[in-house]
Amino acid sequence: MTKYVDPTRDQFRAMAEAPESGPIWMLNMIRLRKNAKYEDKREASGAEAYAAYARESEPFFKGVGGRIVWSATPELMLIGPDDERWDMVFAAEYPSSEAFVNMVKNPGYQAIVFHRQAAFKTSRRIRMKPGVAGKVFS
Protein backbone atom coordinates (compact mmCIF):
# COMPACT_ATOMS: atom_id res chain seq x y z
CA MET A 1 0.00 0.00 0.00
CA THR A 2 1.38 3.40 -0.98
CA LYS A 3 1.90 5.73 1.97
CA TYR A 4 0.03 9.04 1.92
CA VAL A 5 0.14 11.17 5.07
CA ASP A 6 0.41 14.80 3.95
CA PRO A 7 -0.73 16.56 0.77
CA THR A 8 1.84 17.48 -1.86
CA ARG A 9 2.48 21.19 -2.45
CA ASP A 10 0.47 20.99 -5.67
CA GLN A 11 -2.45 19.31 -3.92
CA PHE A 12 -2.48 21.91 -1.14
CA ARG A 13 -2.19 24.77 -3.66
CA ALA A 14 -5.15 23.36 -5.61
CA MET A 15 -7.16 23.26 -2.39
CA ALA A 16 -6.21 26.82 -1.45
CA GLU A 17 -6.99 28.13 -4.95
CA ALA A 18 -10.24 26.21 -5.47
CA PRO A 19 -13.25 28.44 -6.05
CA GLU A 20 -15.43 28.96 -3.01
CA SER A 21 -18.72 27.14 -3.12
CA GLY A 22 -19.90 27.15 0.48
CA PRO A 23 -19.43 24.29 2.92
CA ILE A 24 -17.14 21.40 2.05
CA TRP A 25 -16.82 17.90 3.43
CA MET A 26 -13.44 16.25 3.74
CA LEU A 27 -13.67 12.47 3.51
CA ASN A 28 -10.90 11.03 5.70
CA MET A 29 -9.81 7.39 5.40
CA ILE A 30 -7.15 6.51 7.96
CA ARG A 31 -4.87 3.53 8.51
CA LEU A 32 -2.91 3.82 11.75
CA ARG A 33 0.54 2.47 12.43
CA LYS A 34 0.77 -0.25 15.06
CA ASN A 35 3.53 1.77 16.72
CA ALA A 36 3.72 5.53 16.25
CA LYS A 37 6.79 6.86 14.49
CA TYR A 38 7.85 9.99 16.37
CA GLU A 39 11.05 11.76 15.34
CA ASP A 40 12.05 12.09 19.01
CA LYS A 41 11.70 8.29 19.38
CA ARG A 42 8.99 8.49 22.08
CA GLU A 43 6.98 5.32 22.43
CA ALA A 44 3.26 5.25 21.72
CA SER A 45 0.86 3.24 19.64
CA GLY A 46 -0.57 4.72 16.48
CA ALA A 47 -3.94 4.94 18.24
CA GLU A 48 -2.37 6.83 21.17
CA ALA A 49 -0.62 9.26 18.81
CA TYR A 50 -3.86 9.83 16.91
CA ALA A 51 -5.73 10.41 20.19
CA ALA A 52 -3.15 13.09 21.06
CA TYR A 53 -3.64 14.69 17.64
CA ALA A 54 -7.44 14.60 17.96
CA ARG A 55 -7.34 16.13 21.44
CA GLU A 56 -4.84 18.87 20.57
CA SER A 57 -6.30 19.74 17.15
CA GLU A 58 -9.91 19.99 18.35
CA PRO A 59 -9.72 23.71 19.33
CA PHE A 60 -8.34 24.61 15.89
CA PHE A 61 -10.93 22.44 14.11
CA LYS A 62 -13.85 23.86 16.07
CA GLY A 63 -12.33 27.35 15.93
CA VAL A 64 -12.80 27.50 12.15
CA GLY A 65 -16.31 26.08 12.38
CA GLY A 66 -15.43 22.44 11.69
CA ARG A 67 -17.60 19.53 12.73
CA ILE A 68 -17.74 15.80 12.11
CA VAL A 69 -20.84 15.02 10.02
CA TRP A 70 -20.46 11.24 10.12
CA SER A 71 -17.99 8.55 11.09
CA ALA A 72 -17.77 4.80 10.70
CA THR A 73 -15.55 1.84 11.43
CA PRO A 74 -14.76 -0.07 8.23
CA GLU A 75 -15.48 -3.79 8.47
CA LEU A 76 -14.94 -5.36 5.05
CA MET A 77 -13.46 -4.36 1.69
CA LEU A 78 -16.12 -5.45 -0.80
CA ILE A 79 -14.64 -3.74 -3.88
CA GLY A 80 -11.03 -2.62 -3.90
CA PRO A 81 -7.49 -3.79 -3.22
CA ASP A 82 -7.21 -6.46 -0.53
CA ASP A 83 -4.28 -4.65 1.08
CA GLU A 84 -6.18 -1.37 1.40
CA ARG A 85 -7.66 -1.48 4.88
CA TRP A 86 -8.85 1.44 6.98
CA ASP A 87 -9.08 1.81 10.74
CA MET A 88 -11.47 4.75 10.60
CA VAL A 89 -13.43 6.75 8.05
CA PHE A 90 -15.18 10.04 8.68
CA ALA A 91 -16.37 13.19 6.98
CA ALA A 92 -15.41 16.53 8.47
CA GLU A 93 -17.39 19.59 7.43
CA TYR A 94 -15.82 23.04 7.10
CA PRO A 95 -17.74 26.24 6.34
CA SER A 96 -15.45 26.78 3.33
CA SER A 97 -12.15 25.76 1.75
CA GLU A 98 -10.71 28.93 3.24
CA ALA A 99 -11.63 27.75 6.76
CA PHE A 100 -9.77 24.47 6.20
CA VAL A 101 -6.72 26.24 4.76
CA ASN A 102 -6.70 28.72 7.66
CA MET A 103 -6.74 25.87 10.16
CA VAL A 104 -3.87 24.04 8.48
CA LYS A 105 -1.78 27.23 8.21
CA ASN A 106 -2.36 28.18 11.87
CA PRO A 107 1.03 28.03 13.68
CA GLY A 108 -0.64 26.42 16.70
CA TYR A 109 -2.06 23.65 14.52
CA GLN A 110 1.25 23.21 12.73
CA ALA A 111 2.92 22.73 16.13
CA ILE A 112 0.79 19.64 16.92
CA VAL A 113 0.37 18.00 13.51
CA PHE A 114 3.44 15.84 14.22
CA HIS A 115 1.13 13.56 16.25
CA ARG A 116 -0.92 12.92 13.11
CA GLN A 117 2.20 12.24 11.07
CA ALA A 118 3.50 9.83 13.72
CA ALA A 119 0.16 8.01 13.92
CA PHE A 120 -0.69 7.46 10.24
CA LYS A 121 0.54 4.55 8.17
CA THR A 122 -1.39 5.97 5.22
CA SER A 123 -4.52 7.99 4.58
CA ARG A 124 -6.77 9.48 1.96
CA ARG A 125 -8.50 12.84 2.17
CA ILE A 126 -10.99 13.84 -0.50
CA ARG A 127 -12.67 17.23 -0.70
CA MET A 128 -16.37 16.87 -1.46
CA LYS A 129 -19.33 19.16 -2.03
CA PRO A 130 -22.15 18.14 0.34
CA GLY A 131 -25.16 16.65 -1.39
CA VAL A 132 -28.76 16.11 -0.38
CA ALA A 133 -29.41 13.02 1.75
CA GLY A 134 -32.17 10.70 0.67
CA LYS A 135 -31.69 10.97 -3.08
CA VAL A 136 -31.04 7.70 -4.82
CA PHE A 137 -27.55 7.49 -6.36
CA SER A 138 -27.27 11.07 -7.52
- At 2 the three-state DSSP class reads coil
pLDDT at 1 over 70: no
pLDDT classification of 138: cutoffs 50, 70, 90: low
From the number of C-beta atoms within 10 Å of its C-beta (0-12, 13-18, 19+), residue 98 rates as middle
Do 125 and 14 contact (CB within 8 A), yes or no? Answer: no
Contact 45, 120 (CB under 8 A): no
Domain boundaries, the chain: 21-75+86-128
Residue 131 has pLDDT above 70, yes or no: yes
Q: How far is CA 58 from the centre of its chain?
A: 12
Each residue's pLDDT tens digit, 30-47: 999 999 999 999 999 999
What average pLDDT does range 7-28 have in this prediction? 82
Fold of the domain spanning 21-75+86-128: Alpha-Beta Plaits (3.30.70)
What is residue 47's predicted lDDT score, i.e. its pLDDT? 98
Average pLDDT of the chain? Answer: 91
Position with higher pLDDT, 12 vs 88: 88
